[in-house]
Amino acid sequence: MTLIATEALTKRYPGGVTALDELTLAVQPGIVGLVGANGAGKSTLIKILLGLLAPTSGRVQVLDLDPAVDAEAVRARVGYMPEHDCLPPDLAASEFVTHLARISGLPRTAARERASETLRHVGLYEERYRQIGGYSTGMKQRVKLAQALVHDPDLLLLDEPTNGLDPAGRDAMLALIHRIGTEFGISVVVCSHLLGEVERICDSLIAIDGGKLLRAAQVSAMTEASDVLAVEVSEGTEELAAHLATLGLRPRREGHLLLVVLDTPETYDVIIGAVADLDLPLHRLDQRRHRVAELFATNAEEVVGVN
């Protein structure tokens, strides 16, 4: 099953702004990162996926349904967490989420049970009986996530879920989203303008810019190729580079670092051996975190170059 499929999807607003420009996508189930700068067309895409906006042209399918025709059926199976504040301050979280569960079609008792279950899953326990107005930003984000999850959707659309959170809050929210995608078995589309954030939890990434597709790929495919070891020695960097080259490793200079492609686990031993042979003071030897951002950046340049 294809989670989301679009074909030459275009959205032009009456003012003449083109938010989406011939966007063609095929998204497989899993955790999907939708990245792009502000104004790249992420929110417009989400609104079209929910059937809230009609596309100007092109075709779109969500969970094998057309949101332009079957908006009701799509919205029954999709959970949406908006970017902005959307919670009434004078209601208790449990009551509010129960109410929205009923609007999603859950019978009264089921709605109440699912609401407290879901609030527990997002990490709100006794606080759920307090008024939302007294919540911290982190708790509010959790309530927003809970209301999107309460009717057990097949697809979650999260618009900037880490907005306004501190680093610890971001990590907790990302871990939660990762759990939803893996343990709960619900596909998730996470919108973000921070690539570094979503790449940690996503199976695949889609980058859009100016309403056009920049790149879409599996995260594993992007990162496998880019794993490198960074070697730093206090002196004799040139010597080491030459020596490694003779051992067939093709090192690359980057400032005072040597970057070596990590082909096999033995690469570590080879480097350690080489440093020991030359009797150099080794400062650092670590595996670089994958650099999807770089990949996106180079690809963006390529795309621009082709055009």
Partner 1 sequence: MSTETSVIHDIGYQRYTGPRLGRGYAVRSLYIHALRTAFGLGRSAKAKIFPWIVCGIMLLVAVIVTAVRSQIGEVVLEYRDLPDSLSAVIVLFLAVIAPELVSRDLRSGVLPLYFSRPIQRTDYAFAKLGALITAAWLLLAVPMLVMYAGAAFGADHLADVWREADDFGKGLAYAALYALVFAPIAMLVSSFTGKRAFAAGGVVAIFLVTAPIVGVLGFVGNQTTRDLALLASPQTMVYGVKSWLIEPQQDVVGAYGPVYGMAAVALICLCVLLLVVRYGKVAR
Interface ranges with partner 1 (CB under 8 A): 50, 52, 72-73, 75-76, 78, 80, 82, 84-91, 95, 99-100, 102-107, 110, 114, 117, 120-121, 125-127, 131, 147, 151-152, 180, 183-185
Q: Which is nearer to partner 1, 150 or 202 (CB)?
A: 150
The nearer residue to partner 1, 106 or 190, going by C-beta atoms, is 106
90 contacts: CB under 8 Å, gap ≥ 6? 131, 132, 133
Q: How far is the CB of 261 from partner 1 (least distance, A)?
A: 40
Question: Can you name the residues that pair with 193 across neighbouring β-strands?
Answer: none
Least separation in angstroms between residue 44's CB and partner 1 is 12
User: What 3-state class would DSSP assign to 222?
Assistant: helix
The smaller minimum CB distance to partner 1, of residues 176 and 249, is found at 176
* DSSP β-bridge partners for residue 31: 188
For the bound state, the minimum distance from the C-beta of residue 191 to partner 1, rounded and expressed in Å, comes to 14
Nearest residue (CB) to partner 1, 86 versus 304: 86
* Tally of CB atoms within 10 A around 44: 23
Cβ 121 to partner 1 shortest distance, Å: 6
The C-alpha atoms of residue 270 and residue 253 are separated, in whole angstroms, by 18
Specify the residue, 23 or 106, whose C-beta has the smaller distance to partner 1: 106
CB of 145 to partner 1, least distance (A): 12
Q: Which is nearer to partner 1, 5 or 91 (by Cβ)?
A: 91
Q: Residue 280 Cβ, how far from partner 1 at the closest point, in Å?
A: 50
